[in-house]
Amino acid sequence: AEAEKGGWPSFMAKEISEGPEAIRNTLRARIEDGVIALGENETLTDEQLKNLDRIIIVACGTASYSAMAGEYAIEEWARVPVEVELAHEFRYSNPVLTENTLVISISQSGETMDTKMAVQYAAEHGAHTLAICNTQGSTIPRESDAVLYIHAGPEVAVASTKAFLAQVVGQLLFGLHLARVRGTMTDDEIRTVTADLEALPEQLAFTLENADDVRELAHWMSDTRSVLFLGRNVGYPVALEGALKLKEISYIHAEGFAGGELKHGPIALIEPGQVVFVVVPSPRTQPTMHSKLISNIQEIRARGARVIAVAEEGDAAVLPYADIVLRVGTTHPMLSAVLSVVPLHLFALELASAKGLDVDQPRNLAKSVTVE
Ligand code: AGP
């Protein structure tokens, strides 16, 4: 196993470092001339895609957070209603499924029992099924009408990291393809997004190479007992993912919230010294949400919170309001989850390591949950 880690202290550390390569492989041969080139076996026929009136994405855990990030993009670009359902809830909720429904499953392993059962249910009830999966030849893709492999490479650590990035990118590719087929985006509009997609691997590599702040922070915080995460829009699933990683491998109580939800309850948790990570939307492309989130930060700081902001390079407005700012590259807003999640993955890794925990094999958890 030591050899397989290739010099890294853990599989998780290795797999985080493989993020840029994972994305490169997800994108490979799928963009031609700036537009998306997906085969019919990777989606559905154009005719079927045109007739869709609803998409439901089913997944569990980290894959379900990637689905929430994908939901915003697919709906925004292809103008089809999209919803995300936890796979284990979906099957027991008597969902409305027709031949114009597409059920997309997201699974790294392709073996998650809850997700597999949701896909079977969808197929039995007449919906189309598309698997977005990492593991070639696994059960879920075999049981689906179509499969879009993300090619992130093997993921061994229980905590999913690079697969999350590739799952989001896989959905973005699908969303752009759907938008093209349905005529809701022009090729030129698609090209502005694919240019940003192709820039992601290098931006990720830059974030990974400049992560000393995150490391220091994690060491400084190794006694912390509770961490909150806030985000809006695609930053919201990133907040949920940051919290899940911390629970899984650091055994620290952590929760993610949508910024707007604060005053509806969670703000009562804020007391002096409470650490809150805030995933800040871009001031350039999402100015309204940016200023709303700055207001959220002001509200929690007034109550003594210590704020760690994950913010776009050049966002100076956030500086006076944050104790620490972790920088990520500039990109299209629908792609931003891929960049902003990385400091949170690194933070969980470093904090668990600082506590001397086994990051690859956290207690009570299995890499893939093959029982219901
Ligand atoms: C992520 O860190 C988890 N260990 C877990 O939530 C995982 O993402 C979930 O069990 C789904 O697994 P899958 O992608 O293999 O279906």
What is the residue-averaged pLDDT of the chain? 96
Q: At residue 322, does pLDDT exceed 90?
A: yes
- Residue 248 Cα to ligand 1 middle (Å): 11
* pLDDT recorded at residue 209: 93
Q: At residue 3, does pLDDT exceed 90?
A: no
* pLDDT recorded at residue 261: 95
- Residue 106 Cα to ligand 1 middle (Å): 10
pTM of the model: 0.97
Best residue among 16, 62, 165 to mutate for probing ligand 1's pocket (most ligand atoms within 8 Å of CB) is 62
Residue-wise burial string across 356-366, b where 16 or more C-beta atoms lie within 10 A, e elsewhere: eeebbbbeeee
DSSP state letters, 261-281? GGGGTGGGG--TT-EEEEEPP
CA dist 26 and 276 (Å) reads: 32
pLDDT tens per residue across span 183-200: 999 999 999 999 999 999
- Residue 263 Cα to ligand 1 middle (Å): 31
Instruction: Give the N- to C-terminal CA distance of the chain in Å, as an integer.
Output: 29
* pLDDT recorded at residue 372: 82
For 298, residues 6+ apart whose C-beta sits below 8 A from its C-beta are 321
- Residue 53 Cα to ligand 1 middle (Å): 28
The ipTM assigned to this model is 0.98
Average pLDDT over residues 40-65: 96
Whose Cα sits closest to atom 16 in ligand 1? 107
Q: At residue 365, does pLDDT exceed 80?
A: yes
Q: At residue 106, does pLDDT exceed 90?
A: yes
Q: At residue 1, does pLDDT exceed 80?
A: no
Task: Name the CA radius of gyration of the chain, rounded.
Answer: 20
Q: At residue 206, does pLDDT exceed 80?
A: yes
* pLDDT recorded at residue 40: 81
Highest mean pLDDT among 1-10, 28-37, 163-172, 355-364: 163-172
pLDDT tens per residue across span 233-289: 999 999 999 999 999 999 999 999 999 999 999 999 999 999 999 999 999 999 999
Q: Which atom of ligand 1 lies closest to the CA of 164?
A: 8
Catalytic residues, by residue number, are: 367
Q: At residue 39, does pLDDT exceed 90?
A: no
Best residue among 107, 156, 160 to mutate for probing ligand 1's pocket (most ligand atoms within 8 Å of CB) is 160
Tally Cβ neighbours within 10 Å of residue 254.
24
CA dist 298 and 142 (Å) reads: 50
* pLDDT recorded at residue 366: 86
Strand segments (E) across the chain? 31-32, 35-36, 54-59, 82-86, 101-107, 128-133, 146-149, 226-231, 253-258, 275-279, 306-312, 324-328
Q: At residue 14, does pLDDT exceed 80?
A: yes
Q: Which atom of ligand 1 lies closest to the CA of 248?
A: 2
Cα angle 35, 40, 43 (rounded to 5 degrees) comes to 80
Class of residue 302 by CB neighbours under 10 A (exposed 0-12, middle 13-18, buried 19+) = exposed
Q: At residue 327, does pLDDT exceed 90?
A: yes
Closest listed residue to residue 144, CA positions, set 159, 171, 163, 124: 124
Tally Cβ neighbours within 10 Å of residue 92.
10
Binding-site residues, ligand 1, Cβ < 6 A = 60-63, 107-109, 112, 115, 158-160, 248, 368-369
pLDDT tens per residue across span 224-234: 999 999 999 99
Average pLDDT over residues 334-358: 96
